[in-house]
Homo-oligomer: A and B are copies of this chain.
Amino acid sequence: MKKLINNPADVVKEELQGVALAHGDQVRVHFDPAYVVRVDAPVVGKVGIVSGGGSGHEPMHGGFVGYGMLDAACPGAVFTSPTPDQMLEATKAVDGGAGVLHIVKNYTGDILNFEMAAELAMAEGIEVESVVIDDDVAVQNSLWTAGRRGVGATVLAEKICGAAAEAGKSLKEVAELCRKVNGWGRSMGMALTSCTVPHAGQPTFELPEDEMEIGIGIHGEPGRTRMALKSADEITELLALPVIQDLPFEKGDRVIAMVNGMGGTPLIELYIVYRKLAEICEAHGITIARSLVGNYITSLEMAGCSITLLKADDELLGYWDAPVKTPGLRWGM
């Protein structure tokens, strides 16, 4: 296992210490229980937004804490759900009196723990709404998942809902917006290589040198199919067409398009994928109104990519364009 780590048991703690040191002007990190929170939390009168999940997907979620996006993020161990006490404490820390939205990716552990945290928070008088993201079209059920997995649309939901909360929308409105993003967002990913969870010390799965996995999950969960390695253009079609057909995205639709790297894929390759995705969208009469190319929801050092399309109207584009200032996504300020 070749990694820039010390004791595998300390990976998340030490990473969070690094985040706190590098971004102390933007976020604070609370330990025991662990969560990353805006320096200015709670923002009085603003809906708070909390997300979280297993670590290993950086910059998601901790890197999306800041003005215009998340108020707090709860990092679990690598590829392991955070605990209800993390979520409860984060919820309390960001409650500015307007309620708190939980954005939850659809994995069984995350669902159960966020539900428990929401109940505990509500018992303490905090209004909580929860929205589950399940945008991955690859498989219907999966390891650790009943129903579809939550992947790339989570990043877009966090940006868009963060902007709406900043604009003073109510908890019900921000939750409704989050459901709209989930309803209109679809994703699919693929892997060229596996990845190694530090405390496991061995690759999560094996992938022969001449094969790839289409529809991979962000924890290395099985996808739709393994097949011989293909060209970037063919791979992009294998991801984009199921995404387009699922919603379906139709002629005349405008979209926010994300080409996301799994962690070990260089940017040069992601732009080659984006080029083909743009061609496919154009051929379908779909207009890419905004785009995002880079590493946003990763799987440690896995090589591969995912594609997310989000149907976007003026409301979503307006919130997308609004200023954001987080370690992982920043513009307008």
User: Which residues from chain A sit less than 8 Å from chain B, CB to CB?
Assistant: 2-6, 11-12, 14-19, 21-22, 55-56, 58-59, 63, 78, 192-193, 209, 212, 229, 231-233, 235, 263-275, 278, 288, 291, 293, 295, 298, 300-301, 303-305, 325, 330-333
The one of B6, B15, B192, B209 in contact with A268, judged by C-beta atoms closer than 8 angstroms, is B15
Beyond the given A4-B265, A264-B264, could you list 10 further A-B residue pairs with CB under 8 A, ordered by the A residue number?
A3-B269, A15-B268, A18-B272, A18-B273, A18-B274, A18-B278, A264-B301, A266-B301, A268-B300, A325-B331
Do A2 and B269 touch across chains, with their CB atoms under 8 A apart? no
Tell me the bound Cα distance from A273 to B333 in angstroms.
27
Do A273 and B4 touch across chains, with their CB atoms under 8 A apart? yes
Counting from the closest, the 10 A-B pairs by CB-CB distance are: A18-B271, A18-B275, A4-B269, A58-B267, A2-B192, A18-B274, A4-B232, A264-B264, A21-B278, A15-B271
23 interchain pairs, CB-CB under 8 A: A2-B209, A4-B265, A6-B231, A6-B272, A14-B272, A15-B268, A15-B269, A15-B271, A15-B272, A15-B275, A17-B271, A18-B270, A18-B273, A18-B274, A22-B274, A22-B278, A264-B264, A265-B301, A266-B298, A266-B300, A295-B295, A301-B303, A330-B330
Tell me the bound Cα distance from A15 to B192 in angstroms.
19
- In the complex, residue of chain B having the shortest beta-carbon distance to the beta carbon of A331: B330
What is the minimal beta-carbon distance from A21 to any residue of chain B, in angstroms?
4
Do A235 and B266 touch across chains, with their CB atoms under 8 A apart? no
Do A233 and B22 touch across chains, with their CB atoms under 8 A apart? no
Do B232 and A5 touch across chains, with their CB atoms under 8 A apart? yes
Tell me the bound Cα distance from A235 to B15 in angstroms.
16
- In the complex, residue of chain B having the shortest beta-carbon distance to the beta carbon of A292: B22
The verdict on A4 contacting B267 (CB below 8 Å), with A22-B293, A272-B15, A272-B18 known, is: no
Do B232 and A6 touch across chains, with their CB atoms under 8 A apart? yes
**Residues in chain B near residue A22, CB distance under 8 A:** 271, 274, 278, 291, 293
Tell me the bound Cα distance from A304 to B272 in angstroms.
23
